[in-house]
């Protein structure tokens, strides 16, 4: 499908309304006009090619305030979820680094990001910050052409987050030079690559109790490189390696 992409959570055949942020992007940033082509997606796998039906000032006001924009589509298609999935359990990090983490992991097709509470966590992610991260995920999907938004959550303990993905193979980022390199592990465990969950602890590291919890949960401790990485770098490294392996199948 050709054309700029816009998020439309209530996507359906026929007339659709883009609300404030998306309408502003279309008319004020991209300068699109009635008759111009665009692509709509709802974040749940549905996508559609359409055209702008009316300029922002010609449509009703959006439910959340601000001018809305009408677009028409004839057919809505469903993009299946990828067969291979990766979920990340990560510690929060400061400022724009967390937005960058979400943006890049969306581009690399991470399916779920859980911002868990570790014993040495410094950053606690609240609801208002989670809302901003959701918006960052939408923008990343628009840019990269992804049809499914990732699930974003915060506030779970490490134990709760691990239990929530107990049907996945569990990886744990570990800077210890004795740990198996991630690329080696992925190459030697092709069957386990289908459903992965990976833990990235805070920059203060995992505590002995947390390491024991992860080992008891069947975690495979893997090394990402010769140096200690920041949280967001480690998360993207895991996502990039998993995406590279998935492209081989």
Q: Taking residues 66-88, what's their average pLDDT? A: 90
Q: What is the pLDDT of residues 161-211, one digit of tens each?
A: 999 999 999 999 999 989 999 999 999 998 877 899 999 999 999 999 999
CA atoms within 13 A on the CB side of 120: 13
CB contact at 8 A, 153 and 206: no
> Would you place residue 246 in the very low, low, confident or very high pLDDT band (cuts 50, 70, 90)?
confident
Residue 148's H or E segment, with its range, is: none
Phi, psi (rounded to 5 degrees) for 211: -60, -40
Report the predicted TM-score, pTM, of the whole model to 2 decimal places: 0.89
Whose structure tokens read 């998993």?
Answer: 242
The domains found in the chain, sorted by start residue, are 5-78 (2.40.240.20), 85-246 (3.40.1280.10)
């Amino acid at each position: 499908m050709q054309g700029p992409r816009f998020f439309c959570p209530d996507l359906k055949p026929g007339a659709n309304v883009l609300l404030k942020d998306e309408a502003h992007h279309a008319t004020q940033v991209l300068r699109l006009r009635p008759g111009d082509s665009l692509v709509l997606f709802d974040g749940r796998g549905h996508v559609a090619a359409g055209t702008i039906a009316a300029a922002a000032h010609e449509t009703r006001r959006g439910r959340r305030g601000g001018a809305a924009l009408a677009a028409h589509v004839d057919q809505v298609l469903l993009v299946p979820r990828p067969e291979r999935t990766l979920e990340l359990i990560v510690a929060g990090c400061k400022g724009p680094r967390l937005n960058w983490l979400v943006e890049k992991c969306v581009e690399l097709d991470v399916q779920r990001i859980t911002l868990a509470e570790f014993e040495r966590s410094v950053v606690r992610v609240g609801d208002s910050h989670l809302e901003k991260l959701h918006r960052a995920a939408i923008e990343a999907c628009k840019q990269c052409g992804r049809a499914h938004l990732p699930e974003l959550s915060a506030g779970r303990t490490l134990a709760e987050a691990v239990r929530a993905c107990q049907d996945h193979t569990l990886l744990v980022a570990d800077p210890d030079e004795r740990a198996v390199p991630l690329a080696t592990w992925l190459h030697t465990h092709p069957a386990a690559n289908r459903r992965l969950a990976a833990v990235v602890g805070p920059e203060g590291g995992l505590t002995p109790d947390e390491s024991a919890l992860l080992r008891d949960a069947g975690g495979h401790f893997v090394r990402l490189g010769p140096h200690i990485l920041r949280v967001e770098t480690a998360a993207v490294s895991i996502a990039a390696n998993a995406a590279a392996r998935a492209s081989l199948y």
